[in-house]
Amino acid sequence: MRRLLQVALAALALALLPPLGGGAVRAQDGAETLAAIRADIAALLSRVRALQAELSGGGTGTAAADSGSVLDRVAAMEAELVRLTAATEALENRINRIVADGTNRLGDLEFRVCEIEPGCDIAALGATPPLGGEAPAAPVAAPAPAAGSGGAQLAVGEQADFDRARAAYDAGDWAGAAGLFLTFTETYSGGPLYGQAHYWRGEALARQGDTAGAARAFLESFSGAPQGPLAADALFRLGQSLAQLGQIQEACLALAEVPFRFGSSPRAAEADAERRLLACP
């Protein structure tokens, strides 16, 4: 599970990829992303075309004198273009491997959780969606973010439906809250509140004594938003739930991931304490 969680986070955080060197455009955190590389390629192509037009436009004596330096600049930019193209292909291949491996491991974990969850139909699980979602066919302009949505757009009625489910939870209506949060995740799948809805559904199920169902909800919460505001809580509660189900080895692995990924979270110390109680290696 540790490798699964590391791979999942690596696939969904491309901004953390190590820099490849050279003169490519850099993201704010210093990493060279695919978008930055492609921007470099576009800029270089434009400059190469401009210089080639300058050379083919018919020259005076001055142009002839400068042609050597212009040709050198063209050659240098073409070499950089080759490097950037190779870097793009290498990054794409690496990302594809990470996504494929992480998706397979996440599917295996979902299968194992389903095995211990009463009433879970393994045949109905289907194929695990690729980590990070399907790649878009073409770039699409992002809509303006809604206020308070953390940079992502909320659908019409999404916040109101989430608040209604949370109100049921706060009122102690565990069954009603679990049902409302389940409906929410089906209605707004992949939305900015998707991971939080699964987390609170897990808490509502745990209150009703449905530990296996809660474990699956916590897993879906973390896998759906591995860097979300409740990611550390979901991972910690997944470990606790697995321990209650007697899956000690899996529980220890999940709990060990909390301080590894979220060292500054209060859940990190709680996870260490829980591992000591379980006598984790």
Q: Which two tokens stand for residue 192?
A: 């900015």
Q: What are the sequence ranges of the domains in the chain?
A: 2-101, 153-281
Q: Which two tokens stand for residue 9?
A: 């986070």
pLDDT digits (tens, 9 = 90+) for 220-263: 999 999 999 999 999 999 999 999 999 999 999 999 999 999 99
User: Helix 61-116 crosses helix 2-12 at what angle (to 10 degrees)?
Assistant: 140
Token pair 């308070």 is found at: 148
Q: How confident is the model at residue 148 (pLDDT cuts 50, 70, 90)?
A: very low
pLDDT at 26 over 70: no
Average pLDDT of the chain is 74
The CA radius of gyration of the chain, in Å to the nearest whole number, is 25
- CA separation for the pair 81, 62 (Å, rounded): 28
Cα 120 from chain centroid (whole Å)? 26
- CA separation for the pair 194, 122 (Å, rounded): 23
User: Which architecture, in CATH terms, is 153-281?
Assistant: Alpha Horseshoe (1.25)
Task: Express as a percent the part of the chain with pLDDT over 70.
Answer: 53
Half-sphere exposure in the Cβ direction for 159 (13 Å, CA): 9
Q: How confident is the model at residue 94 (pLDDT cuts 50, 70, 90)?
A: confident
pLDDT digits (tens, 9 = 90+) for 210-228: 999 999 999 999 999 999 9
pLDDT for the residue 97: 73
Q: Please give the model's pTM, rounded to 2 decimal places.
A: 0.51
Give the pLDDT mean for 75-82.
Answer: 68
CA distances to 42, 84, 139, 264 from 45, rounded to whole Å, are 5, 12, 20, 45
- CA separation for the pair 126, 115 (Å, rounded): 14
